């Protein structure tokens, strides 16, 4: 029997040379006349160990990483195919503290299986949830999801079961399931990782959602910045169609569910659900006023479930293990697990799936190992470009929707971006406004104009000519944008700006103290 | 990674018509059609706008509005290679702005510009989803992590090695 070697083909792993490592391993095996079966997986999420090569021995996977092509002959010399000692040897991967402490529910298979093998998927528990759902009444499926306490993982945190219930009870000849895979927040990559590493899990979740609310057609709206994920998902949908998981009779049940993946076109705003729906319809991605909610009048005017990738991918586990098992994890009103993405200036970045409740500090220090630069942490942005910048004094805040809101922050899609002490927070505040100006859909004035005025007024404050007037003006502008914007882009851009002003006021008045403004982030 | 040239052919109205006809049956066919046109011809030629409008029964202004709304769609072809450099927060925390300055100072290329010989277009992008391996870039569709000055120099050099 040939030896099984696992090397990811996830885009993040490829970005640091996984393809070259895979080629080098195969070439070296040929030279040494050794039979190897190379399995290309997704990533387990330990981006800091990529490219991570694993060798399966008696069902246990031993890791080596991060591997460069130049390391490969040495690894063969060291007998890595028999888990031989080497400076890159990590031992059994799942015994590493980084993995052992996680609760991998949604990402249980990610990085372990061949993402496009339906056999691998079912061997690891895939399709169990769907088979259970096929024997249930729609209302019972919705109730299970409600009972699990699952809240939308895209950022808004709205209870998924309640959204599904609204669509179930909306009478219509056609309903839709739309998956929001327009993961535009900086510091987040959970959607990409799941789609590249376990696409059938998303497909299964969408089929279950369709059964639950009576929708027969689904769309995945995937951002164009993710060409690898698009290729994997398109292939997975084709495989699922041929296997009867999608189509006129899901697993022979006589129930229909069709699925298409559609590419976005580089607009951040299309991650907002009504803008996404407009874009899917073939229009400019401009935000719609709510009501009507998409649950009642969504895609092509029909009742539509719009859910994030991670919300939908959590559903197969919930159906398999029951709503209560999911609700048993987490804290407060944040039930279940959250795939946290540790990003930016952090030594051990990647995806960590855990029950809600761990503190930011524990994540950054214990999982992340501190900053990549080795300098002290100064600010942490949680929840993407619309999330607050938190100082060291707030890092004991637990990961929980309500706890973060209580410190005037937000959890968002679970991205955590770490900055060291070289960061200039006035510059970060300015960028928040600039980003809003670049990405505003233009429909409402507070966002379209307010963001540009925001950049200008922050520039004047930093220059320090008439600080008191400009600070009052900025304060007014932040209130206006918060209260009067049509959607979360204009409405939440004040969050990072306000947090920078509150927690790092010194960065805004360097010139008045006779200091030069720092003009760049860490190098 | 090896730089590969963007594949594209000059605009032909018949080929464009064929693309439109092949996709117009889709629900919400506008974006799939525009993506397909751009993939084939490198940009959305103004002559394609009436074709799309007619096929989808919308006004030319509406098609133009969609083309101009989305950052992805071009009305002028890009250079033979396209380097997208991420300038979002995670990459900022790892010094992406210094890379922008390096590209301008060492190679004379500013963001959003194409080199005069049409070899390389450099664009800003806001998140490539590689935030644990920042700074990130994408060269002709290939994702690159932990980009530094040497990586930038090598990427620019590679585009010079490929004959047009």
Partner residue opposite A12 with nearest CB, options B66, B97, B132: B132
CB contact under 8 A, B93 and A344: yes
Does A8 fall in a domain?
A: yes
Query: Considering chain A, what is the average pLDDT of its residues?
Result: 96
Q: Could you report the per-residue pLDDT of B35-63, keeping only the tens digit for each?
A: 999 999 999 999 999 999 999 999 999 99
Taking the whole predicted model, whether its pTM rises above 0.80 is answered as yes
Q: Which of A201, A210, A213, A236 lies closest to A316 in space, CA to CA?
A: A201
Q: Around Cβ A118, how many Cβ atoms within 10 Å?
A: 18
Q: What is the mean pLDDT of residues A355-368?
A: 97
Which pLDDT score is estimated for A512? 61
Judgement on whether residues B48 and B98 belong to the same structural domain of the protein: no
Q: Which residues contact B84 (CB under 8 A, 6 or more apart)?
A: B122, B123, B124, B125, B128, B137, B138, B139
Determine the structural domain holding residue A39 and report its residue range.
3-100
pLDDT confidence band for B1 (50 / 70 / 90): very low
CB contact under 8 A, A16 and B133: yes
Judgement on whether residues B148 and B119 belong to the same structural domain of the protein: yes
Q: What is the mean pLDDT of residues A188-212?
A: 98
CATH assignment at residue A503? 1.20.1440.230
Determine the structural domain holding residue B64 and report its residue range.
13-69
Number of domains in chain B: 2
Which of A311, A327, A343 is at the close of a domain? Answer: A327
Strands (E), A271-388: 304-308, 330-331, 334-335, 337-344, 350-355, 377-382
CB contact under 8 A, A417 and B93: yes
Judgement on whether residues A400 and A450 belong to the same structural domain of the protein: no
Which pLDDT score is estimated for A20? 98
Does A460 fall in a domain?
A: yes
Strands (E), B68-119: 81-86, 113-114
Residue A431 above 50 pLDDT? yes
- Write out the H or E segment, with its range, that includes residue A263: strand A258-263
Q: Which residues contact A210 (CB under 8 A, 6 or more apart)?
A: A177, A216, A217, A218, A257
> What is the predicted ipTM?
0.95
Judgement on whether residues B40 and B85 belong to the same structural domain of the protein: no
Does B6 fall in a domain?
A: no
What residues in B contact A285, CB-CB < 8 Å?
69-70
Round to whole Å and give the CA distance between A154 and A406: 19
Q: Could you report the per-residue pLDDT of A116-131, keeping only the tens digit for each?
A: 999 999 999 999 999 9
Residue B2 above 50 pLDDT? no
Q: Could you report the per-residue pLDDT of B123-148, keeping only the tens digit for each?
A: 999 999 999 999 999 999 999 999 99
Judgement on whether residues A309 and A355 belong to the same structural domain of the protein: no
pLDDT confidence band for A30 (50 / 70 / 90): very high
Which pLDDT score is estimated for A511? 62
Does A113 fall in a domain?
A: no
Q: Which residues contact A317 (CB under 8 A, 6 or more apart)?
A: A105, A106, A108, A129, A326
Q: Could you report the per-residue pLDDT of A311-356, keeping only the tens digit for each?
A: 999 999 999 999 999 999 999 999 999 999 999 999 999 999 999 9
What residues in A contact B73, CB-CB < 8 Å?
265
Q: Could you report the per-residue pLDDT of A433-452, keeping only the tens digit for each?
A: 999 999 999 999 999 999 99
CB contact under 8 A, B126 and A420: no
Residue A298 above 60 pLDDT? yes
Judgement on whether residues A369 and A462 belong to the same structural domain of the protein: no
Partner residue opposite A15 with nearest CB, options B69, B126, B133: B133
Residue B3 above 70 pLDDT? no
Q: What is the mean pLDDT of residues A255-263?
A: 98
Judgement on whether residues B56 and B113 belong to the same structural domain of the protein: no
pLDDT confidence band for A510 (50 / 70 / 90): confident
């Amino acid at each position: 029997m040939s030896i099984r070697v696992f090397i990811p083909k996830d885009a993040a792993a490829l970005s640091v040379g996984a393809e070259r490592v895979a080629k080098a391993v195969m070439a070296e095996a040929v030279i040494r006349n050794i039979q190897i079966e190379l399995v290309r997986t997704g990533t387990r999420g330990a981006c800091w160990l990529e490219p991570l090569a694993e060798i399966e021995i008696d069902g246990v996977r031993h890791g080596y990483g991060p591997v460069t092509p130049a390391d490969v002959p040495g690894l063969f010399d060291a007998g890595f195919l028999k888990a031989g000692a080497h400076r890159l040897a990590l031992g059994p991967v799942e015994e590493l503290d980084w993995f052992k402490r996680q609760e991998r529910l949604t990402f249980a298979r990610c990085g372990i299986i061949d993402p496009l093998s339906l056999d691998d998927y079912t061997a690891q528990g895939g399709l169990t949830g769907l088979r259970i759902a096929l024997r249930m009444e729609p209302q019972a499926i919705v109730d299970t999801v409600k009972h699990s306490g699952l809240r939308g993982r895209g950022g808004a945190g709205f209870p998924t079961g309640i959204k599904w219930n609204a669509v179930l009870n909306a009478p219509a000849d056609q309903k839709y399931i739309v998956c929001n895979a327009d993961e535009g927040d900086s510091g987040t990559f959970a959607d990409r990782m799941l789609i590249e590493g376990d696409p059938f899990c998303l497909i299964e979740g969408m089929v279950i959602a369709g059964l639950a609310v009576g929708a027969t057609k689904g769309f995945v709206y995937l951002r164009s910045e993710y060409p690898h994920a698009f290729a994997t998902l398109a292939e997975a949908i084709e495989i699922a169609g041929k296997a009867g998981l999608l189509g006129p009779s899901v697993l022979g049940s006589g129930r229909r569910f069709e699925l298409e993946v559609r590419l976005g076109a580089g607009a951040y705003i299309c991650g907002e659900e009504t803008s996404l729906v407009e874009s899917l319809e073939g229009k400019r991605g401009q935000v719609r006023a709510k009501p009507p909610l998409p649950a009642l009048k969504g895609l092509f005017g029909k009742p539509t479930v719009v859910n994030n990738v991670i919300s939908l991918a959590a559903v197969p586990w919930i159906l398999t293990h029951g709503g209560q098992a999911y609700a048993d994890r987490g804290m407060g009103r944040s039930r279940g697990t959250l795939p946290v993405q540790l990003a930016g200036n952090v030594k051990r970045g990647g995806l960590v799936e855990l029950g809600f409740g761990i503190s930011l500090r524990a994540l950054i220090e214990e999982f992340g190992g501190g900053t990549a630069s080795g300098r002290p942490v100064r600010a942490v942005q949680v929840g993407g470009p619309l999330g607050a910048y938190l100082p060291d004094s707030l890092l004991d805040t637990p990961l929980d929707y309500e706890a973060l809101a209580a410190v005037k922050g937000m959890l968002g899609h679970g991205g955590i971006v770490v900055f060291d002490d070289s960061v200039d927070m006035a510059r970060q505040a300015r960028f928040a406004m600039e980003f809003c100006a670049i990405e505003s859909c233009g429909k409402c004035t507070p966002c379209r104009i307010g963001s540009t005025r925001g950049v200008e007024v922050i520039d004047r404050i930093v220059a320090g000519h008439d600080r008191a007037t400009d600070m009052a003006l900025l304060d007014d502008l932040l209130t206006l944008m918060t209260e009067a914007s049509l959607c979360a882009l204009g409405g939440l851009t004040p969050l990072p700006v306000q947090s920078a002003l509150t927690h790092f006021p010194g960065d805004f008045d360097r010139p008045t103290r006779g200091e030069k403004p720092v003009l760049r982030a860490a190098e | 990674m090896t730089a590969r040239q963007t594949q594209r052919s000059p605009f032909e109205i018949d080929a464009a018509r064929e693309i439109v006809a092949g996709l117009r049956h889709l629900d919400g066919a506008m974006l799939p059609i525009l993506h397909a046109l751009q993939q084939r011809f490198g940009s959305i030629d103004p002559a394609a706008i009436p074709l799309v409008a007619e096929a989808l029964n919308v006004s030319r202004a509406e098609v133009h509005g969609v083309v101009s709304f989305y950052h992805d769609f071009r009305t002028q072809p890009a250079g033979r290679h396209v380097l997208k450099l991420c300038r979002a927060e995670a990459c900022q925390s790892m010094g992406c702005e210094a890379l922008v300055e390096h590209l301008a100072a060492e190679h004379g290329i500013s963001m959003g510009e194409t080199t005069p010989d049409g070899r390389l277009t450099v664009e800003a992008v806001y998140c490539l989803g590689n935030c644990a391996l920042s700074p990130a870039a994408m060269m002709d569709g290939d994702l690159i992590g932990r980009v530094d000055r040497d990586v930038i120099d090598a990427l620019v050099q590679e585009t010079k090695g490929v004959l047009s």
